[in-house]
Structure 1
Amino acid sequence: MSLPAQLPLDLGHRAAMGCEDFLVAPSNADAVAWLDRWPSWPAPALTVYGPAGGGKTHLGHVWRARSRAVIVDGAALDRADLPALLARANAVIVESADAVAGKPAREEALFHLYNLARESGGHLLLLSRKPPSRWRVRLADLRSRLKGAPAVAVEAPDDALLAAVLVKLFADRQLRPGLELVTYLLTRMERSLDAARVVVAALDRASLAAHRRVTVPLAREVLADLEREAEETKNGPRNRRTPRHRVRSEQGAG
């Protein structure tokens, strides 16, 4: 992995999710272009799919700011009042839309919601990890509807996008990371936008708690703590320890 001498901040910006900025990059540019075409989509629905942490939900909020769409989870679709979902703005975002697959009641609900949107001139934004062709939908009519609607991928973020997101997240907290710190994080953190938010928040907390600058040594300790916490969440706690950045702070205070 290589980064330019200066941090890559020349990505496109657009307002999203309140005061946050959405960064347009090659990994999400196709999906952004499709959202920009709304409401002139060739079908009532558009599916945006890709790995967790790639920014699908953030993209959904970008579209929601324009369309005023209602958000519903695919796992709860069979319990939703379908006409009411479209009544407010004639636009619906279905999170985890692939959760309907293999569940007859949910598949029926998405099929009816699709038909209601088509009849009313409304639109559905379906967000999922997999493309509809891999959902294993049993309802033939729903498969046909999904096959006739566009689907676009959001790829895993590349180095330039992750670096720009890290810099922006630090800036939101009035922190100015150096190139060495950003490069270090890129080579060691999970490669997702969600992970970037978690890491920056943890570094900010650790810096304040230990009265230390946000540097590579602090990042090394924080990443180790986050990895241990993730292991404990998965496998159960073993020997709980005070985070190293707190130990050093307490020793220094003595």
Structure 2
Amino acid sequence: MSLPQLPLAITLQDGVSFENYFSGLNLEAAQAVESCLQIKSERFIYLWGGSSVGKTHLLQSACRVVSEQDNPCAYLTLKQANELSPEIFDGLEALSLVCIDDVHAIAGQKQWEIALFHLYNRARANNTLLIVSGDESPGHLLLALPDLSSRLAWGLIFQLHPLSDTDKFSALQLRARRRGFNMPDEVGRFLLSRYPRDTAGLFSILDRLDHASLAAKRRMTIPFVKMVLDQEKKEI
């Protein structure tokens, strides 16, 4: 069977890995995903929780590990379902790993649900690891297909929890170190007190500040952070 051709737009975020995932209360889920990549035991994992709790990070980290081992894998976000066709699931069971993000985006769309139901069955028969994420537990997804709800409830299920402010501070420090610089404590506290506290937003700000600091050859201080972010507001 030939491997499916995936849209070029579906790519992994730069730098996403298990090493820079700050787990907080989600350590068990992160360890389970890593373990299933190494030991062919459970072949289905369902991760659920609100926005910015790390679902996408874990799915893409899993894909990165598998792709670096030169094994075929796919990451799909169903937020893009209106731009795609359910046929994109055809043949994915031939891969080593399939990660499907944002399954709640197709809730109530019968053709998508049927296609995912059949992919689940084919992946299980082929011993392919399938990891799916959603914003609710399987029983609360408001799916139109009861059989899909039951399939998503099989295997390992983990609720992911938001990081506390203390953990967000530590996560910012970890991301800064991974990018090759030390974030002063006062800068971390400033970001947490003045800007949206969702983890993805904070990481995006930190990445932009890192680029600006390198370009300007300036240390990352609170005055520099204010200058960069105020300038961004003016350009919007």
TM class, shorter-chain normalised? 0.7 to 0.9
Q: CA distance change for structure 1 residues 211 and 127 in 2, over 3 Å: closer, same or farther?
A: same
Give the deviation of 1:211 after TM superposition.
Answer: 5.5
Q: Would you say the 8 A contact 1:157–1:191 is kept in 2?
A: no
Equivalent residue for 1:30?
Answer: 28
Equivalent residue for 2:11?
Answer: none
The gaps in structure 2 that reach 5 residues or longer are 1-13
Q: Deviations over 1:35-68 (max 9, x none)?
A: 1442322xx4211122222222221133224444
The one-letter code of the counterpart of 1:59 is L
The one-letter code of the counterpart of 1:40 is S
User: Which of 61, 72, 79 is residue 76 of structure 2 equivalent to?
Assistant: 72
Q: Would you say the 8 A contact 2:29–2:160 is kept in 1?
A: yes
Name the Cα RMSD after superposition.
Answer: 2.8
Q: CA distance change for structure 1 residues 66 and 174 in 2, over 3 Å: closer, same or farther?
A: closer
Q: Which moved more, 1:128-137 or 1:196-205?
A: 196-205
Q: CA distance change for structure 1 residues 23 and 147 in 2, over 3 Å: closer, same or farther?
A: closer
Equivalent residue for 2:95?
Answer: 88
User: What does 1:11-22 align with in structure 2 at a 5 Å threshold?
Assistant: 17=15, 21-22=19-20
Give the deviation of 1:81 after TM superposition.
Answer: 4.5
User: Which of 137, 141, 148 is residue 142 of structure 1 equivalent to?
Assistant: 148
Give the deviation of 1:205 after TM superposition.
Answer: 4.0
Q: Is the aligned partner of 1:59 residue 2:82?
A: no
The one-letter code of the counterpart of 2:31 is A
Q: Is the aligned partner of 1:204 residue 2:210?
A: yes
TM-score, normalised on structure 2? 0.75
Q: Would you say the 8 A contact 1:97–1:126 is kept in 2?
A: yes
Q: Would you say the 8 A contact 2:22–2:171 is kept in 1?
A: no
Give the deviation of 1:164 after TM superposition.
Answer: 2.7
**Whole-Å separation in 2 of the counterparts to 1:206 and 1:24:** 24
Q: Which moved more, 1:55-64 or 1:96-105?
A: 55-64
Equivalent residue for 1:164?
Answer: 170
The one-letter code of the counterpart of 2:74 is V
SS in 2 for 1:138: coil
**Whole-Å separation in 2 of the counterparts to 1:200 and 1:94:** 27
Q: CA distance change for structure 1 residues 120 and 176 in 2, over 3 Å: closer, same or farther?
A: closer
Q: Is the aligned partner of 1:179 residue 2:178?
A: no
Q: Is the aligned partner of 1:45 residue 2:51?
A: no
Q: Deviations over 1:177-196 (max 9, x none)?
A: 22111111122232233212
**Whole-Å separation in 2 of the counterparts to 1:66 and 1:172:** 17
**Whole-Å separation in 1 of the counterparts to 2:18 and 2:132:** 22
- How many residue pairs are counted as aligned between the two chains? 211
**Whole-Å separation in 2 of the counterparts to 1:106 and 1:191:** 33
Equivalent residue for 2:201?
Answer: 195
SS in 1 for 2:20: strand
Q: Is the aligned partner of 1:214 residue 2:220?
A: yes
Q: Which moved more, 1:131-140 or 1:173-182?
A: 173-182
SS in 2 for 1:151: strand
**Whole-Å separation in 1 of the counterparts to 2:229 and 2:117:** 44
